[in-house]
Amino acid sequence: MSESALQIRPDVPAEMPVIAVKNAVIFPIPNLPIPLGVGRPRTMAAIEKAAAEDGVLLVATQQDPDDEKPGPDDLHRFGSVVRVLRLTRSMDGPDELLIEGVCRARVEQFAETDDHLRAVITPVADLNPPDAESHALLRTLKDLASKVIELSPRIPDEALSIVEGIDDAGHLTDLVASQLRIGLEEKQELLEVWDVKTRMNRVIAALAHEAAVLEISGRIRTEVRDSLDKHQREVYLREQLRAIRKELGDDDDAEDDLDELAERIGRAAMPEAADKAARRELRRVRRMNPQSAEANVARSYIDWLLDVPWNTITEDNLDVKAAAALLDADHYGLERVKRRITEYLAVRKLKGDMKGPILCLVGPPGVGKTSLGKSIANALGRNFVRISLGGVRDEAEIRGHRRTYIGSLPGRVVKGLKKAGSINPVFMLDEIDKLGADFRGDPSSALLEVLDPEQNDTFSDHYLEVPVDLSSVLFMATANRLDTIPGPLRDRMEIIEIPGYIQEEKREIARRHLLPRLLDDHGLDDGLVELTDDALEVVIDQYTREAGVRTLNRQLAAVLRSVARDIAMDEVEPPVRIDAERARKALGPQKFFPESKQDIATPGVAVGLAWTPVGGEILLIEATAMKGKAQLTLTGQLGEVMKESAHAAMSFIHARAEVLGIDESLFSERKIHLHLPSGAIPKDGPSAGITIVVALTSLLTRTPMRGNLAMTGELTLRGVVLPVGGIKEKVLAAARAGITEIVLPHHNMGDIEEIPAHLREEMTFYPVERIEDVIRIALGIDIPSPSAPIAVPAPDAATA
């Protein structure tokens, strides 16, 4: 188009603000409001400037839609002049700008201001001579647009009246062009054509192509619908065709597949219920269209039935000594678990048949619960499969989905059997304490059948709908806590608690298992590195604080990485000796400080022992008194049980004040504050009961507690000391702190057997049954035990 044919709109300003749009081309269609989502700062500034001037601005399309800050070189040189109608602010999304078209415009020059973009333009009017050709093109355009509207399911029928009501060829062409399914570049080319005839010819060509595509799509939809209506007739004809091809010896591939499936069913030797279900489903498939969705669902069901290892059984290794040796080689310690597995093997060897035990290994993270399952599978000669139950909230994850649902599959139990390839694997249910429940059901309830030896020989999966025998599976569950496992589920499992490792056990595990693997992972084998005992001691004591060995593994890896770097950079010559100093240099400042004996010469201080998920800890309890209204203040993030223990201790001391030699006025004129340091750490449990009594008695009698002594035990109001848990961890914590004398409940003396022999010989244990014994040992105050309950005088007859 020549410059002489260009018609300029004199009523449009020659300079105006510019906004950039992406993924769209705006055509100048008068009297048709167009909404735009806006929000970029430069765009908002341009809109405000346009509103302050003539109310018009230029809309130009970005060449790169991903550019969030387009400049003059990033915009097309042809756009649309639009009039701003309204700007609607939004609180939770982009603002909406309502515009209507004015005319096309060619950009002569862009100019950038501080906050928006402007342009000097040439506003272009449509070139549309009213001749016969224009009228013919307009009629053709309307006919094609009407046809596309009728064929397209996405365009409402109301669009027909809009098309018929527009007689301006340029406006109608722009309206249709804005709705065409063509690329942005093609739309931009249409925008740059101001000759209406040329523009109409291009739009008519695109409309004709769209109409042809829609006609083909409609024909395909009709054929599909007709084919569904003819399904029954096709089934009959297909059966006839199969018979004809069989006579000709030219059977189709689909029939070959079904025959092969029938042979697999015959060879599988499945249980009677599964065999009947598979053959019944196969008969249904033969009557279906092979291409139908229902046939695929039925085929998948048969495949799953065949994939379950109904009769595949691995032979157990009944050599008890060899199995015990393999367990010892893979894991250090964990004697209770190893003994339980060897007991199972011994019974299997003597009896010949036994249902698999259902074990639940409970312990802190990193002590080897999951890896122990793999070792047990290796020792038994069985396959191993593990499923993680952490965060599982849907019952269908265990039992599967019913086949009425699209995309249904069996549950994790059946999937696990398929993965294992045998009907008697070691099945690890990891993180069973982290099961959830919601509106989709309770997976822990579904596990009740799986883990019940009296029921699991007929386990029913919702997808298979045939009994699956799980009685020969050795189920093992792992958990960090017992209290989050529902009671009925916990009752079905044999609980084996795995305590945290002591320092000596960690050293052995590091030497036997961690270091050889880490040296190989870091390419430091063949004697390139020697780790001294002092260095290993430093890493364990000063850089880890855990019950397991995961952090120890990471810290040792960090030390070895530093050595590997030094060797690679030729800073050291192998072999490298890693001593304590080099370990500290690799790991940085000391992170943990071992517990040590505290100075408890001050009255009101007592040393207790506490259990934590990462082992035992020294628990310091401090008490002080001040003038004020009688009150017991408790601080240090104490839980409800520990608060109750403190109040019970205070009540006991108040009741025995006379025999303890405590002035009665102290309870009415003094405010007592009980504090447990490390206030950021929550504390709970009843085992600090006797320690609280000793701290308060020490305060009120002004008698300091003897040194080198720690204690643990629950207290009743009658002064009876009850047994508590975690004795092994607590005693080990005392040993680490250099404490050699322990006061503990008499009924806990049996737990002493779990403590290493060398520590039992070095330490002195005081078994106690009453709090008077504790006070005598800790404070040197000898008070008599009450021989009878305190008598309460009966009311006289007159009062009664």
Q: How confident is the model at residue 5 (pLDDT cuts 50, 70, 90)?
A: low
pLDDT of residue 576 exceeding 80, the answer is yes
Structure token pair of residue 414: 């059946």
Q: How confident is the model at residue 679 (pLDDT cuts 50, 70, 90)?
A: low
C-alpha to C-alpha distance for 378 and 513, rounded to whole angstroms:
17
Percent pLDDT > 90 in the chain is 17
Q: Which of 687, 698, 728, 785 is catalytic?
A: 687
Helix (H) or strand (E) holding 762: helix 757-762
- The string of pLDDT tens digits covering residues 247-265 is 655 445 556 677 788 888 8
**Residue 369 falls in the annotated catalytic set:** no
Query: pTM of this prediction?
Result: 0.58
- The string of pLDDT tens digits covering residues 151-180 is 887 777 777 888 888 888 888 888 888 888
Q: Is 437 exposed, middle or buried (0-12, 13-18, 19+ CB in 10 A)?
A: middle
Mean local confidence (pLDDT), 520-541:
86
Peptide bond into 72 cis (omega under 30): no
Q: Is 63 exposed, middle or buried (0-12, 13-18, 19+ CB in 10 A)?
A: middle
Mean local confidence (pLDDT), 221-231:
67
CA-nearest of 788, 644, 772 to 719 is 772
Q: Got the DSSP string for 302-323?
A: HHHHHHS-TT--PPP---HHHH
C-alpha to C-alpha distance for 150 and 704, rounded to whole angstroms:
98
Look at strands 721-722 and 714-715 and give their pairing: antiparallel
Type of residue at 358: I
Helix pair angle (293-307, 412-420), 10° resolution:
60
Mean local confidence (pLDDT), 751-768:
87
Sign of the dihedral through C-alpha 585, 586, 589, 594: negative
pLDDT of residue 246 exceeding 70, the answer is no
Q: What is the pLDDT of residue 692?
A: 92
Structure token pair of residue 218: 């409609």
Q: How confident is the model at residue 526 (pLDDT cuts 50, 70, 90)?
A: low
Mean local confidence (pLDDT), 262-271:
84
Helix (H, G, I), strand (E, B) or coil at 48: helix
What are phi and psi for residue 121, nearest 5 degrees? -125, 165
CA-nearest of 107, 16, 109, 98 to 56 is 16
Structure token pair of residue 664: 């009665």
Q: How confident is the model at residue 722 (pLDDT cuts 50, 70, 90)?
A: very high
Mean confidence (pLDDT) of the chain: 84
Are residues 731 and 762 in contact, defined by beta-carbon separation less than 8 angstroms? no
Q: What is the pLDDT of residue 765?
A: 94
**Cα atoms in the Cβ-side hemisphere of radius 13 Å centred on 210:** 24
C-alpha to C-alpha distance for 631 and 300, rounded to whole angstroms:
72
List, in order, residues 6 or more apart from 799 with CB less than 8 Å away. none
pLDDT of residue 441 exceeding 80, the answer is no
- The string of pLDDT tens digits covering residues 176-206 is 888 888 888 998 999 888 888 888 999 989 8
Q: Is 724 exposed, middle or buried (0-12, 13-18, 19+ CB in 10 A)?
A: buried
pLDDT of residue 749 exceeding 70, the answer is yes
Q: Got the DSSP string for 257-285?
A: HHHHHHHHHHHH---HHHHHHHHHHHHHH
- The string of pLDDT tens digits covering residues 447-506 is 888 888 888 888 888 888 899 888 888 888 998 888 888 888 888 888 888 877 777 888
pLDDT of residue 798 exceeding 50, the answer is no
Structure token pair of residue 97: 């700008």
Higher local confidence (pLDDT), 207 or 349: 207
- The string of pLDDT tens digits covering residues 599-643 is 567 888 999 998 876 667 888 899 998 887 888 888 888 889 888
Look at strands 576-578 and 529-531 and give their pairing: parallel
Q: What is the pLDDT of residue 796?
A: 41
pLDDT of residue 227 exceeding 70, the answer is no
**Residue 152 falls in the annotated catalytic set:** no
C-alpha to C-alpha distance for 547 and 612, rounded to whole angstroms:
9
- Nearest 5 degrees, angle CA 65-CA 67-CA 73? 95
Helix (H, G, I), strand (E, B) or coil at 295: helix
Mean local confidence (pLDDT), 386-402:
84
- The string of pLDDT tens digits covering residues 19-75 is 999 889 999 988 889 999 888 889 999 999 999 988 999 999 998 888 888 888 889
pLDDT of residue 352 exceeding 70, the answer is no
Mean local confidence (pLDDT), 349-377:
80
- The string of pLDDT tens digits covering residues 785-794 is 765 444 334 4
Strand order in the sheet with 494-497: 384-388, 426-430, 474-479, 358-362, 494-497
Q: What is the pLDDT of residue 792?
A: 38
Q: No. of H helices and E strands in the chain?
A: 29, 25
Strand order in the sheet with 764-768: 631-635, 670-675, 615-627, 605-612, 709-711, 741-745, 764-768
